[in-house]
Structure 1
Amino acid sequence: MITLGFVQEALEPMRERGLDVLPVLRMAGITPSELARPQGYVTADQYGALWLGIADALRDEYFGFGARAMRPGSFTMIGRAVRDSPDLERALRRTLRFLTLIIDEPRGVLTVEDGLAIITLHETSPARSAFAYRAYWIVLHGLACWLVGRRLPLRRVDFRGPEPQSGSDYRLFFGAPVTFDCARSVLAFDARFLRLPVNRTEAALKEFLRRAPANILIRYRYDSGLNADVRARLNGMPPALWPDFEGMAKILRVPPSTLRRKLRREGEGYAEIKDELRRELAFTALASTDRRIGDIAADLGFAEPSAFHRAFRKWTELTPDAYRRQKRADGQPSF
């Protein structure tokens, strides 16, 4: 689910231009009374329809945030231009060049530093809104995840400009340390993912585009491969009972060496998969329940609350208490 704060941010470019937002709200099945609820939310499909309606009304798929308009149809052309890339690195570089040709600024540049793939947005203009950078990252990250058929966990997301009121919502959405008031907007992930092959057919591209942008507004679902099998097994049992690596190999009836090799080929190790699943469960428990943090830590399989605190600070640079307070101050439910 997507918070109404995200809806309000998306509608702001239309309001700034004096355009009537009611037609796009009706198209998305969102009523004005729903929009007024302090703790409401919409589905990804509703938000996807809203996104398309706003893009059509503005004649700009980037909502007027670029130096030039991203005319409707641009995202489709990008998908066709990068589908046959040999690997993710080439696909991302093509995507960034294509986006620069279309919108001019912000101009994304990919570099590799200290084991991280870092995409930096360069601008000559004053800082844009946090939502403008968020929209750029959603499109880029969503396309990248689809191209390689798996979610790419992020290591860091920096925003040029001040923190919005719904700052904790940004942290939950990206599932990584998020920092505001930075010199430049930056998105980073492990550089080893750049080697992942791109293997998408024309038919798959048509299906992806047919469902966009709703399908890139939610966390990418693993739909195939051994990674998906491991996740399905882990999701079927309490985290405190998750097996160690050798135990998972026995459950899947494959030699440990084969499991390790195949998971690495798909871009993520067993410990990283468990860490990502624990992070998502922690976000949900803290945002939507009043349970004691020590109990949440135990349920997630942490031997001590202090270990949970250390892990949570690594994920978000916040303590669990601070994250919960910030989430409640926003008055919004989780995704």
Structure 2
Amino acid sequence: MAVKQDGQGERLLMAEKDTISMQLVREALLESCAPGAPSQALLNRVGIDPAQLDQAQARVPASAYAQLWRLLARRCHDEFFCMDPRGLRTGSLAFLCRSSMAQPTLGAGLETALTFLGLMLEHLQPVLVRQQSLAEIVIGEPQDAPRRPFTYFTFWMIVHGVACWLAGRRIPILAIELRCAEPPFCDDYRVMFSENLQFGRPRTRMIFAADCLDLPLKRTPEELQRFLAEAPANILVKYRDPDSLARRIKATLRRLPAGEWPETEALAQQLCISASTLRRRLAEEGTTYQALKDSVRKELAITWLAEAEVGFAEIAARLGFADTSSFYKAFRKWTGSNPGHYRSLILPHDV
């Protein structure tokens, strides 16, 4: 962590940008490379210090992790870290993108991509389901022991990264459910995908607003060439939630009841900057303090809607709404769905 100080004496704690936890490096090596000297040589080739493998808090540049991904893919002839009996042979990502971008809409492009992945992989069989205003990608898989969390998240990294590239913008994820137990590290996954990760669920799926599926696709062969030349580094960092002032403010809001959220002046004072500087910095990141508060309210609402025992009136009160109807109106604005429909989708086996 480093402290940045400008000419006005403002001090902002700046988080480390565009890095990946060493935990993910260990996961990548687990099945695709035997332990010992060979893996050390691979790490040295991409500029990762093998001595850091045993350091739980160590981080590496996302670019180095991307180089490792590409190197392992060439070595194993598999772009999925050898985590499936069939795997994704070299060139799979390129074929997936080329065939998907030829479709008219994101929905059709995703259908094409998921069909291809289902043909290539043995254990992961994804399908796209549209449920009125919500959409979900559900992974069908053998009902034995769940896959490793890293397996699921690598799959989502590919699917979500390609979907964002096809659409030309980040596709907001409302929730990701996983059959596996929660791993000891999740921070990177929450940055890449969503704060709302739920483990130990009956099936593995990603939920998002269905209106994204109607976005037109207008990618060109030249854009595809650039995308593939930079992959997977661009997937790792371009479409994730940035490690930024906005993200740190959201983390602060999550720790407080909605009724205790500071006003702009009080928040600026906590950050040791002026209110005008706070507004300017958030504007530079493409957001506002009000938008951040709405974003956290949406995250919390989605989390509590997954808890069948928490009623709509209680959720509205927790979020600081005057009444349930105000909460309903806000939730529909945030997600395109009403809370009851979302709950019926997220809890089909629980209610």
After TM superposition, the score normalised by the length of structure 2 is 0.65
Is the deviation greater in 175-184 or in 35-44? Answer: 35-44
- Secondary structure of the 2:129 match is strand
Structure 1 residue 313 and structure 2 residue 300: aligned?
Answer: yes
Corresponding residue of 2:138: 120
Q: How does 1:289-328 map to 2 (within 5 A)?
A: 298-299=267-268, 301=289, 310=297, 313-314=300-301
Q: 2:185 and 2:262 mapped to 1: Cα distance?
A: 27
**Equivalent residues of 1:282, 1:296 under 8 A apart:** no
Q: How does 1:150-169 map to 2 (within 5 A)?
A: 150-169=169-188
Q: 1:52 and 1:27 mapped to 2: Cα distance?
A: 12
Corresponding residue of 1:282: 249
Q: Which amino acid aligns with 2:211?
A: R
Is the deviation greater in 146-155 or in 117-126? Answer: 117-126
Q: 1:87 and 1:118 mapped to 2: Cα distance?
A: 16
Deviation sequence 1:26-83 (CA, Å, 0-9, x none): 2221011233433221222111101112222322111122231211111111111112
- Secondary structure of the 1:64 match is coil
Q: How does 1:33-112 map to 2 (within 5 A)?
A: 33-112=51-130
**Equivalent residues of 1:175, 1:315 under 8 A apart:** no
Q: 1:183 and 1:278 mapped to 2: Cα distance?
A: 36
Q: Which amino acid aligns with 1:171?
A: R
Q: Which amino acid aligns with 2:223?
A: A
Q: 1:188 and 1:207 mapped to 2: Cα distance?
A: 29
- Secondary structure of the 2:146 match is coil
Structure 1 residue 145 and structure 2 residue 164: aligned?
Answer: yes
Corresponding residue of 2:235: 216
**Equivalent residues of 1:9, 1:131 under 8 A apart:** yes
Corresponding residue of 2:211: 192
- Work out which of the two has the higher radius of gyration on C-alpha atoms and give 1 or 2: 2
- Secondary structure of the 1:194 match is helix
RMSD across aligned C-alpha pairs, in angstroms? Answer: 3.3
Is the deviation greater in 143-152 or in 73-82? Answer: 73-82
- Secondary structure of the 1:155 match is strand
Corresponding residue of 1:202: 221
User: What residue ranges of structure 2 are gaps of 5+ in the alignment?
Assistant: 1-18, 255-259, 269-287, 307-351
Q: 1:314 and 1:41 mapped to 2: Cα distance?
A: 32
Identity %: 33
Q: Which amino acid aligns with 2:72?
A: I
**Equivalent residues of 1:285, 1:296 under 8 A apart:** no
Q: 1:10 and 1:314 mapped to 2: Cα distance?
A: 34
Structure 1 residue 183 and structure 2 residue 150: aligned?
Answer: no
**Equivalent residues of 1:145, 1:152 under 8 A apart:** yes
**Equivalent residues of 2:134, 2:208 under 8 A apart:** yes
* Deviant stretches of 4+, over 4 Å: 15-19, 283-287, 293-297, 307-312, 315-318
Q: How does 1:240-255 map to 2 (within 5 A)?
A: none
CA 1:110 to 1:11, structure 2 compared with 1: closer, same or farther past 3 Å?
same
Aligned length: 259
**Equivalent residues of 1:85, 1:91 under 8 A apart:** yes
- Secondary structure of the 1:181 match is coil
**Equivalent residues of 2:192, 2:236 under 8 A apart:** no
Deviation sequence 1:66-121 (CA, Å, 0-9, x none): 23121111111111111211000000000011111111330000001141110000
Corresponding residue of 2:192: 173
- Secondary structure of the 2:178 match is strand
- Secondary structure of the 1:217 match is helix
User: What residue ranges of structure 1 are gaps of 5+ in the alignment?
Assistant: 223-234, 236-276, 288-292, 319-335
Q: 2:224 and 2:97 mapped to 1: Cα distance?
A: 7
After TM superposition, the score normalised by the length of structure 1 is 0.68
Higher relative contact order (Cα pairs below 8 Å, separated by 6+ residues) = 1
